[in-house]
Amino acid sequence: ACHNRFEHSIGVMHLAGKLIRGILERQPALQGHVSEKDILCVQIAGLCHDLGHGPFSHVFDNILLKRLNPNSLWTHEDAGCDIIDYMVSNNIIDLEKYGINHTSDLDFIKECIIGVDKKTCFQRDQKQNGWQRRRFLYFIINNTESGLDVDKLDYYQRDCKATGIQANDSFDELLDTAMVMECM
């Protein structure tokens, strides 16, 4: 099995785009509410979602760092967003040449990476236009509601294939049949 961050990040980016485009095909009423820029932002979030991992990934993040500082609220998602901010502010990347606004779009990308906590979801759900973009877009990379997102699907799919586990095309079927069940 191959577990490197590069392949995984490319896979998450690809699955995010495939999922959104599939949903838009199956639900044409959503097409006017999700732009190509929205899709690109979610794909960028997929590509960058693991930038903040330390060496040895979750072992470093969840075990070593917790032993060094048990009260720390640090997450690799927060660190990844800090890295993105650093790259933008130091002109290492210029997202604006791809039509990505360095404020509102970048905030959306980072929220897709960090995830939207339950309290924030509830507050936004209570307000008219509480979500800047379609609500479902925020849960494609880091699904804080169900835990099922393209980040995990990429690993499951990749690990099953690499280790010879028969998945019976269930991953493709899930992506090919997913629909959005939210108020429009």
Tell me the catalytic residues. 76
CA-to-CA distance for 172 and 157, rounded, in angstroms? 9
CA-to-CA distance for 115 and 81, rounded, in angstroms? 12
Diameter of the chain measured on Cα atoms: 51
Residues contacting 17, CB < 8 A, separation 6+: 39, 42, 43, 46
Q: 141 and 112 in contact (C-beta within 8 Å)? A: yes
